[in-house]
Amino acid sequence: MFSDEHQRQLSQRQRTIQTNRGIISRIFSVVRFLARTGLPFRGHHEELGSTNRGIFLELLTFMSHSDDVLAAHLASAAGNAKYTSPQIQNEMISVIGTSIQRIICDAVRSASVFSVLMDETTDASHTEQVAIFIRYVQLFATSPPVIHEKMLALVATKDVTGQGLTDLLLNVLEKHGLSVESIVGQGYDGGSNMMAASKGVQARILQLNAAALFTHCFCHSINRAIINALCSKENRYARNFFGTVELLFAFIEGSALRHAYFIERQCDIAGTKLHLKGLSETRWNCRASSLQRLQQSGVLRAALETIEHVGDTTSDGTTRGKAVGLLASVQKFEFIVGLCSLSPVLGLLNSVSECLQQQNIDLLQAHSVIAAMKNEVQSMRTDESWNNTLKAATLIANDLGIDSELREERRKKIPRRLADSDDNEGTHFDVAEKLKVDLYFNSLDRIRGQLDYRFPKELRDFAYLQPAHMQVT
């Protein structure tokens, strides 16, 4: 009799354990789903009477409608045993994250060597967050190797000096059982705290491991090349052009009424509802999409009509003045020429930047892409390309009713005492030729110069490692 009762209690205990495990498994499934899709867990009001208690609780409630076990648990479990509190949610997220990190680190240790990538940014709460990535190669016996790039940690920090970031990186590696001696590569941005020759992160890691070669992030290098080439005071045409584009975006998108009128006119003109794209201050290569969007005739016409409408209807003198000045700038043929000349250049650089961000790209492939980009930039610097740009700009201007004639500018008359001859009636310049030299060729030359400086020919020394250059004897 005692044995039967004991067996019954054991069976009941086993059923309870299995039920609880099933409930925990269901809750973990919700946590994994929300984490994988990047959805928020919490709600502003999570009490029972709330119409929206947050995605986590609402999804559990929805699942309980077709799951009697989960429904019984949510209805009858004690308040401290429902496993739905914010603390439990965070614990489950941490458990899943630790499991993922363990899998990544096991793969990294199997690869023997790895590279580290690190960058910092400020989040919405003004906290400095440091993202650490690991890059390694997975080898297979019967198939080609695969390059993996995995995020290892996201750590908050208050110290963004070279020493502080180095200590943070070493602590993360030690925590996950990875040795600094196994690092064969480092990749950071161009900040002095990262790439300084003596006190930057790369220099401090090199002191610990001379094999950890540093490579300045190619995408950051391209971005800096564009900024230095197009924001220089020696390239005033390009700098002023982007200033006008930014003012155009801010004027239309800065008001809900102006934006609504812009979309309405665009829909009537071209049947589209495209939004203007702002100019990123940190990702200049992404400005290609902004220019390509603006280059569409329906979008640009709707923008012009919106500015004109605001100037005619507003009662605010400041807004009217901005509208009149902006309309005059955008209706200049020089603005259309700048749009048609710089858009293809930024489009090329943006496509290369996206290619360099692929996880499976290696140094040799990156070098080949950069070399091809340099050649393409150089090939754009021809009279034929410039003539095609003028033709494209003329078509857009004619479609918009903008005068496509580049009127000649008259230089200031030279004083007779400084003149070399008696013929001192002033010098006339071909404006098209001036735009070609000062805008188009100047921008291309500066971009090519920056690319040569940031991606020197010494990178070609790695070309001999390409399989195509190897001979089997």
Contact between residue 46 and residue 54 where contact means Cβ atoms under 8 Å apart: yes
pLDDT tens digits for 22-33? 999 999 999 999
pLDDT at 467: 54
What pLDDT, in 10s, does the model give residues 271-297? 889 888 877 766 766 678 888 888 887
Q: Is the pLDDT of residue 2 over 60?
A: no
Mean pLDDT over 206-233 rounds to 87
- pLDDT for residue 416 is more than 80: no
Q: Which of 354, 264, 342 is nearest to 309 (CA)?
A: 264
The pLDDT of 188-206, averaged and rounded, is 89
Q: Tell me what pLDDT residue 181 has.
A: 94
**Distance in Å from the first CA to the final CA of the chain:** 83
State the pLDDT at residue 263.
Answer: 94
pLDDT at 470 over 70: no
Highest mean pLDDT among 208-212, 275-279, 423-427: 208-212
The pLDDT assigned to 144 comes to 85
pLDDT (average), residues 130-142: 90
Lowest mean pLDDT among 93-107, 179-193, 352-366: 352-366
Angle at 118 between CA 284 and CA 290, to 5 degrees: 15
- In this structure, are strands 128-138 and 146-157 parallel, antiparallel, or unpaired? antiparallel
Rounded CA gap, 35 and 241, in Å? 43
The residue to which tokens 């209807």 are assigned? 313
Residue from 316, 327, 317 nearest 252 by CA: 327
Residue 337 binned pLDDT confidence (cut-offs 50, 70, 90):
very high
pLDDT of residue 410: 56
pLDDT at 29: 93
Q: pLDDT value at position 6?
A: 62
Residue 52: what pLDDT? 86
pLDDT band at 110 (very low <50, low <70, confident <90, very high): very high
Mean pLDDT of 418-438: 67
Question: Minimal CA–CA distance to 358: which of 223, 467, 219?
Answer: 219
Interval 183-197 mean pLDDT: 88
Mean pLDDT of 247-275: 92
pLDDT band at residue 367 under the 50/70/90 scheme: confident
pLDDT for residue 360 is more than 80: no
pLDDT number for residue 219? 83
Confidence at residue 276, expressed as pLDDT on a 0 to 100 scale: 87
Quick one: pLDDT at residue 434? 87
Helices (H) and strands (E) in the chain, counts: 18, 7
Percent residues over pLDDT 90 in the chain: 47
Which pLDDT belongs to residue 329? Answer: 92
Q: What pairing do the DSSP bridges indicate for beta strands 409-410 and 428-429?
A: antiparallel
What tokens appear for 257 in the block?
Answer: 């009424």
**12 vs 32 pLDDT, higher one:** 32
pLDDT exceeds cutoff 80 at 332:
yes
Q: What is the pLDDT of residue 305?
A: 93
The pLDDT of residue 196 is 86
pLDDT tens track for 440-464? 999 999 999 999 888 876 555 655 5
Q: 3-class DSSP state for residue 147?
A: strand
What's the rounded mean pLDDT across residues 92-115? Answer: 93
pLDDT for the residue numbered 176 = 94
Domains of the chain from N-terminus onward: 13-81 (no CATH), 107-216 (3.30.420.40), 224-468 (no CATH)
Residue 418 has pLDDT above 60, yes or no: no
Secondary structure letter of residue 216 according to DSSP: E
Backbone angles phi, psi at 16, to 5 degrees: -65, -40
Please indicate whether residue 85 or residue 429 has the higher confidence score (pLDDT). Answer: 85
pLDDT of residue 471: 54
Q: What is the pLDDT at residue 466? A: 55
- Neighbour-count burial of 56, counting CB atoms closer than 10 A to its CB (0-12 exposed, 13-18 middle, 19+ buried): buried
